[in-house]
Amino acid sequence: MGKLMDVSTMDNYYEQIVVKKISQKKKTMIVIGFILLILVIVASVVFSQAVPLLTIIALAALIGCGYLIYYIISNSKVEYEYTFVGGEMRVERIKRQLRRKKVCAFDVKAVDDIGMYNNPENGERNVDISKHELVLRAESDDLNPDTYYVIIHDKIRHKPAILIFNPDETTLEKIRPFLSIALKKKYIEIQNQTKKLKKNEKLSDKKE
């Protein structure tokens, strides 16, 4: 599971922070940026004396590459804050610990479905997000085995949505009492299945 930080644990109030991992695409862009930066430095050293104009061009390229790397890294510092307050869940995205943006807000009683985003046995998706008009993402990364989905009615946009997120055990326990009877049963089945798989994995590791 992604890095989590518990902020508060009261009966009707709870906050959880999930740190978003840098995607492979952004990692690749950062590497490319560093390679370009090195090439520019080498080119400026080799050709600047022969062609003075290249010094100015190299300096501009150097600044451009440096800013690109800074921009990608700084904008990759994203956290999601889940706030549970008396049956309502609010999710916000925090960039660089400065800017906040509301992702969604919903009544847990009105949740239409809940489940594991990935099948723990084969890693395949348990839900087809393409069937949903509004897809809201607030997870550390979509390969996280502890990623859940909920079908909600978003109070911010006033329309149905699917939320992909990484609730910890406390968040799940806060949510459970407000779910419908059918979803409570489904949740218990998911928890039992997860515990069984983790137990089997531990036994398998001991045998090896």
Q: How many Cβ atoms from other residues are within 10 Å of residue 17's Cβ?
A: 16
pLDDT tens readout for residues 5-41 = 444 445 689 999 999 887 667 667 767 777 777 776 6
* Token pair belonging to 179: 């779910």
For 119-131, b/e burial (b = at least 16 CB within 10 A) is: ebeeeeeebeeee
Check: pTM over 0.95? Answer yes or no. no
Number of separate helices (H) and strands (E) present in the chain:
4, 9
pLDDT tens readout for residues 96-143 = 777 899 999 999 999 999 999 998 777 789 999 999 999 999 999 867
